Structure 1
Amino acid sequence: MMGSSFRVGSKDIELLQPPSDSVSKIDFSPTQDVLAVASWDNNVRLYNVSNQGQNEPKHMYSHEAPVLDLCWTKNGSHLFSAGCDNAVQMFDMTSMQKQQVAAHDAPIKCVRYVEVNGQQVLVTAGWDKKLKYWDLRSSNPMNVQDLSDRAYAMDATDKIVVAGTADRQVHIYDLSNPFTKYRQVESPLKWQTRAIACFPQSVTGENGYAIGSIEGRVGFQYTHTSDEKKSFSFKCHRVDIPAGTMGAPATTGSQNVFAINTITFHKVQGTFCTGGGDGSIIFWDGVARTKLKMFSAKDLNNGDTDARPPVWGMPIVSSAFNHTCDILAYSMSYDWSKGHGGVPPASAGATKIMLHMVKPDEVTRKKK
């Protein structure tokens, strides 16, 4: 069922002084409205955000190469950032100082902070085909797991870690026995994995994850074999091409297909949103298999009927709810889907990070 549409940014508030280069990850503190932003310009920026969306830059620190991922401690006291300098930096929100706490032999694509048997542990996954567990009191990893290929996406709860690799494998670790792989399964999606987000276990009561690919498709997957029959996948972030449009075939039924760049769960409702290369955000009720609401960056062709190709908004590359889940931040920038050669000229639209005031009908689960 289609939800109503409205234009991204029309009523949303723009973050002041965003990065000049592409954004890789944004993440709100779990305890206060501080937004962390990781960028390809080698920097991590922090912003103060009010409950009405007013915002101001707070602090910035640097890596020696592009930053690819972020996560917070549960109490928001520290921020972790990982990147192409093969390192994880831990930033202290009180002293405003950083220190390196983890390393790989290649860029670190993913970082999460979890609880393992009552102990706080950092989990990292990189392009060296390794997943590592870290006790921050030691400079050496607690344990190293071999992955089947480079890590492309990862998420975790205090129950599970789920990592997706370049060969479309999904590696699942049960944190009650973290150093033994629980399962390795092939992605339900036929194309490259781009995003993974675990179900908020406290809401759903079940272990699972949503996985998105470059092919405009999302899989809603349950972890345990006994629940697999409930798993399903669906198409999204695809746009019909009108017959006769320049570059389109004369027949109907053709589509432009966009990557799923970000999946974010609402920690209260258990619903989730996806952001795609088409510049749209869609809210979903995964349990009811229902689209709740959609908003898109630009109306295709702006109503024009001439032969110009469709015009989409800047890709949505990352999204995050604040700790009270009443603000959704989303970033718009180049998503590297066409490689280095596809980087748009500076005049084509700078990176933007927007703050959307969440309305109940966008995220509330459908009644049975």
Structure 2
Amino acid sequence: MASNQVTVASPPTDAISALKFSPDPDSTRFVVSSWDKHVYLYDLRDENGNIGEGKLLQKFEHRAPVLDVCFGANEDEIYTAGLDWDVRKIDISTSAQTVLSSHDAGVRSVVYSKEHSLVISASWDSTLHVHRTDGSDPSPAIIPLPSKPFSMSLTPTKLVVAMASRALHIYDLKAVALLTAQSDGNNPNKVEVEPWQRRESSLKFMTRSVACMPNDAGYASSSIEGRVAVEWFDPSPESQARKYAFKCHRQTSDDVDVVYPVNSLSFNPIHGTFASGGGDGVVALWDGIAKRRIRQYQKYPSSVAAVDFSGNGKYLAIAISPGFEDGKDDVLEGTVKIFVRELGETEAKGKGAK
């Protein structure tokens, strides 16, 4: 299978914090954020339109390490979040950076909802900033959170925020859009948006990543202690009885079970299966409905920092960075890498799929 994998040229020089493909099914662009204070824009296609080794199109400097990045309404705009406390919009055609808002601490996550034209950022100051991109109000609405956010994901209708103390909030995006539209620029823009649901994580240890199902039915979450939980939004007892968790990303060393964090999760937008990337350098594909592992790829040289599927589900990008699991502070040159796998037709299909 290695022949179906390319190593992307010109990777970041420090640890990778996030990697996101353009959601456009026809696009092969992806963005990467790094602790080297830059955001990188790549395209798998070369000038002739052929799939190559991933061409670095542009890179954008920030004042501090960048912790998250996402595409906006189209692939010519991206949003970033980082340790400079800012949420930024970058216009790719002009390279112009605009600060949408500043939090009171580092900004851990940023997501874009095309259905509601909202950019939502989650900061370690225990707030969400909700930015309207329709130009109606330049100042964001601020939603207080009960604790520090670690990861965030959305669907067309829901926003899932995973926090410290195993807290998890699910927001109805329609309600968020409605209430933030009513906030005016004369007050501090704090809005009390009640979560649609408050949950406690099924996982006993700190949440590392959360990812929503493409069919808007639920989400998967992962922890620092080698486990993944799969849950459904529907609050009915029948749906809640379906939730489960499983162990993964564990390696046996000298008869000892070594447990690694599950750093990243991503759902395939076509097949609804999902990938997990762990501190053990392993990427696995899972069928969350059939509760089975579909496949596991050959171990990578260091910790998997991020995984993401392309908008058409045909490519899987994998970013590796030596992680704190190895106890190393210095990232050696050449150890940060990005691989992109071209998936076979059935490679990411579920066990029960036709």
TM superposition score normalised by structure 2 = 0.87
Is 1:65 matched with 2:64? yes
Aligned pairs for 1:95-110 (under 5 A) are 95-110=94-109
User: Does 1 or 2 have the higher relative contact order (CA < 8 Å, sep 6+)?
Assistant: 1
Give the alignment partner of residue 329 of structure 1, picking from 317, 331, 340. Answer: 317
Unaligned 5+ runs, structure 2: 177-192
The residue that corresponds to 2:174 in the other structure is 176
Give the deviation of 1:323 after TM superposition: 2.1
The residue that corresponds to 1:223 in the other structure is 233
Give the deviation of 1:326 after TM superposition: 1.2
State the superposition RMSD in angstroms: 1.9
Unaligned 5+ runs, structure 1: 1-5, 244-253, 299-312
3-state SS in 1 of match to 2:346: helix
Q: Distance in 1 between matches of 2:29 and 2:116?
A: 25
1:111 and 1:122 in contact (8 A); partners too: yes
Give the deviation of 1:344 after TM superposition: 4.9
The residue that corresponds to 2:31 in the other structure is 36
Q: Distance in 2 between matches of 1:335 and 1:216?
A: 15
Given residue 154 of structure 1, which amino acid in structure 2 is its aligned partner? M
Give the alignment partner of residue 276 of structure 2, picking from 253, 258, 274. Answer: 274
- Percent of pairs with identical residues: 31
Give the deviation of 1:359 after TM superposition: 1.6
Residues 111-158 of structure 1 deviation map (CA, whole Å, 9 limit, x = unaligned): 11114xx640111111000012111333321x3222121111000112
The residue that corresponds to 1:316 in the other structure is 304
Residues 294-325 of structure 1 deviation map (CA, whole Å, 9 limit, x = unaligned): 01326xxxxxxxxxxxxxx3001101122222
Give the deviation of 1:43 after TM superposition: 0.3
Distance 1:363 1:107, change over 3 A: same
Give the deviation of 1:335 after TM superposition: 2.9
The residue that corresponds to 1:22 in the other structure is 15
Aligned pairs for 1:1-368 (under 5 A) are 12-31=5-24, 32-50=27-45, 52-115=51-114, 119-136=116-133, 137=135, 138-141=137-140, 143-178=141-176, 179-201=193-215, 206-226=216-236, 227-243=239-255, 254-297=256-299, 313-337=301-325, 342-344=328-330, 346=332, 350-367=335-352
Q: Distance in 2 between matches of 1:295 and 1:265?
A: 16
Q: Distance in 2 between matches of 1:361 and 1:207?
A: 23
Given residue 328 of structure 2, which amino acid in structure 1 is its aligned partner? G
Q: Distance in 2 between matches of 1:197 and 1:108?
A: 18
1:30 and 1:74 in contact (8 A); partners too: no
Given residue 224 of structure 1, which amino acid in structure 2 is its aligned partner? D
The residue that corresponds to 2:183 in the other structure is none
Q: Distance in 2 between matches of 1:78 and 1:184?
A: 32
2:116 and 2:173 in contact (8 A); partners too: no
